Amino acid sequence: MSEGHFNQGEAYYRAGEWSKARTEFQASYEISHLDLLLFNIAQTYIKEGDSVRAIAALKAYLKTTPSDADAQAKLASLEAALPQSAQAPPTQTPAPPSQTQAPLPSQTPRPTRKLLLLPLAIGAATTGAGLVLLGVTASAARDIETQPRTQLDLDAALARRDKLELGAILTVASGALVLGGTALAYGLWKQR
């Protein structure tokens, strides 16, 4: 799986084993084709002092993510430091760059996981709101039972309680569906 290669590459990177890290990042890129991986491959070349391949990797990354200011700055810095004759691409094409930035836990290539947080929060909030409504419904039912009412008041109170109860049940069910859908999407995402 792509995530396994990325995690192993991240471990190698932290241990200072740049070549092994790059190999794992490239393997992750081959599986996932996540543009986020392109910068990290460039980082391994930079750490090894291979500015020419780092430049090639950064250019490949910037083709897909041109707005990354950090990558643009690194590219400009590397190009400025190389003599013009050394800026020609290497005769051997580097392996496809496969990272965006130095591997940091907060920057792992998991955009889908982040996208799952929103429906998860919405589902939890909806379920919580439904449970609160159920509590309000139970309170209304107790009030109906304990307070003396005329038949007309009793019918109106029962109708209000029934509407609250239906709303609460639908809200809890909606929240549960969103949570279940999010869990299913996460499960499918983990299988890729």
Domain ranges, residue 187: 111-191
Of 84, 107, 130, the domain-final residue: 107
Residue 22 has what pLDDT?
93
Question: pTM (2 decimals)?
Answer: 0.46
| 10-residue mean pLDDT series, the chain (192 residues) | 82 92 89 83 91 90 86 88 61 48 47 63 82 82 75 81 85 84 72 60
Q: How many domains does the chain have?
A: 2
Q: What is the 3-state secondary structure (H, E, C) of 93-145?
A: CCCCCEECCCCCHHHCCCHHHHHHHHHHHHHHHHHHHHHHHHHHHHHHHHHHH
Strand partners, 37: 99
Residue 159 has what pLDDT?
85
Residue 86 has what pLDDT?
55
Residue 180 has what pLDDT?
81
Same domain, residue pair 72 and 156 = no
